[in-house]
Every structure is written in structure tokens, then in C-alpha cells.
Homo-oligomer: A and B are copies of this chain.
Amino acid sequence: MVDSVYMPSHPLSAPAERLVEAAQATLAEAGVEGLTLRAVARRAGVSHGAPLRHFESTSALRSELAARGFRALDEAIDKAASQAPGGSSPLRRLEAAGRAYVDQAVANPALFALMFRQEELDPAYPGLAERSAAAFDQLVRHVRAAQDVGLEPGQDTRVLASSLWALVHGIATLWSQGALASTSGASLDSILVAALAIWIPQETPEGTEA
């Protein structure tokens, strides 16, 4: 599941790039706890000291993976929104964006866990904050477009975007952790459909949301 979607966040040398690939595979298989410099070195087939040539700490390597994760998320949302059925409707594009978020998170649960463990990332790592902000800004733009056609027109856009983000994030993380399935017995799709239906009307409202 580690594929070409994970583009470089800034240019790295070829050996560093190979370490990143090994790190993505290690993360997917062993989880955030299992992502250590030594484990990455083993998977990359180099000695355990080699990664320190390219990443000064575990935190730097994790931050690189997180930055790529945010970039991949941003791109997946962009693609899904632009290809949404009934794509001319901002409401349908917003819905597609929410679905894409959940899809990305559920497909890469360990990566998502890593992306949001801020205490284990380096906030100053090049590109990390920018890519995270870019993904959120895209969500804000979709929310604003939806507001322009009548979705919760009186609400502050960033506040509204934050709460939609929290909704899809909560669905994705609770599902990935198995909590939703074991506790509620419902399917991921049924929960997502219900949640989005409450948020986003099926037809463009004509002032009914005001």
C-alpha cells in the first residue's frame, strides 16, 4: 500500500530516499512504536548506523514521513473533489473531500497516527507545517464554496471547517482502532454516509439552512 502517491516533500539524496521507502514499509507493518532507526536500517539492508548519515534523529525521519502523508492527503482530497459525481456542486465536492479523508486514513492507519503524534515530530522540520496547513486550507476552500451555495451561511468558515475535519478524523481514527466496529456493530460506510448526510444536504438548500 506504499505507492507512488508518496512524493518527496523536498529533494532528498537517493540513499535517503531508499531509507524513506524502508521507513514507510516499517511503519505500515510495525506501527509507530516499531518505527525505529535500527528497524529501518535492517529493512533497507544497511548497518544500523547508516541512517544517521541522512536523518539526524528518529524525529526527523518521522517528520519526513508525516510531511509526505499530509501531501498525499492533500492530493487525494483534491483529486476526489475534482472528480466528484455531480462535480459542479460545491456540496458534492465537499462530501467527496470528506470521504477521501476517511479513505486515506483507513488505508494508512499507522501513517495517520504518526501524522498526529505531534510530540514525536519536529515542528520545524522543512515542509511539515506547510503541508499540514495546505491540506487544511484546501478543506477551508471547499467549505467556503459550500457556504456560498447555502451551507451554514452564518458560520465562521474556519470554525466550520474545523468541526467537519474533526468529524471525519474521528470516524477514521475510531474505525482504524477497531472501536467503532466492536462497539457499534455498524459499517464504516453507513456511519460515514449518516454523518455526511447530517452535515451536507443532498440538494442545494435555498435558505433552509439559515
Chain B residue numbers with a CB within 8 Å of A152 are 198
CA distance A156 to B186 in the complex (A): 9
Q: Is A127 an interface residue, CB under 8 A from the partner?
A: no
Size of the chain A interface, CB-CB below 8 angstroms: 41
Given contacts A194-B156, A198-B198, contact A116 B177 (CB under 8 A): yes
A interface secondary structure, majority: helix
Contact, CB under 8 Å: B171 / A184: no
What's the minimum C-beta distance from A106 to chain B, rounded to whole angstroms? 13
Partner pick for A162 among B158, B166, B169, B186, CB 8 A cutoff: B186
Contact, CB under 8 Å: A173 / B169: yes
Binary per-residue interface labels of chain A (129-165) against chain B in the complex, 1 for a CB within 8 Å, 0 otherwise: 0001100100000000000000010011011111101
Q: Is A207 an interface residue, CB under 8 A from the partner?
A: no
Chain B residue numbers with a CB within 8 Å of A178 are 118
Q: Is A180 an interface residue, CB under 8 A from the partner?
A: yes
Given contacts A116-B174, A194-B156, contact A166 B180 (CB under 8 A): yes
Q: Is A168 an interface residue, CB under 8 A from the partner?
A: yes
CA distance A92 to B191 in the complex (A): 23
Chain B residue nearest in CB terms to A171: B166
A: residues with CB less than 8 A from B are 31, 116-119, 132-133, 136, 152, 155-156, 158-163, 165-171, 173-174, 177-180, 183-186, 190-192, 194-195, 198-199
Q: List 11 A-B contacts (CB under 8 A).
A: A116-B179, A118-B177, A158-B185, A159-B186, A160-B194, A161-B184, A165-B174, A165-B180, A166-B191, A168-B170, A170-B170
